[in-house]
Structure 1
Amino acid sequence: MVYDGQTVGVAMPVSLQFDSAVTSARYRRAIEGRHGDDLSAHSGVVGWLGDRQLMWRPKSF
């Protein structure tokens, strides 16, 4: 699925689901760094839910 250019609801988290577990701290930092550039224009918090899901939510709703 491609979501480029789409608008999502207010305060909706961005969720990235991976096919396999990301357990290495090095890989997690690389993923956060890569996608952090896309999200850096918006204030928010990035966190892992388990080993396969990265979530971003806005700082305030």
Structure 2
Amino acid sequence: MVDPNVLETVGIDPEVYTGWAFGLGVERMTMLLYGVDDIRLFYENDIRFLQQFGGRR
């Protein structure tokens, strides 16, 4: 759900409208492509895990 204050800030009446916010980030796309079960793995900074996804130097 979008906070009513966010709607008010952009001039939308939260008594009339509500909203949902969602995103499909690069991590979620990678999870689907490579079968990764836990998104937290991308943020643990384990270089052995991250090297599986390209960008090697």
Same-fold status (TM-score > 0.5) = no
* Structure index of larger Rg: 2
TM-score by length of 1: 0.22
**Which has the bigger relative contact order, CA under 8 A and spacing at least 6?**
1
TM-score by length of 2: 0.23
In terms of fraction of residues, the more strand-rich structure is: 1
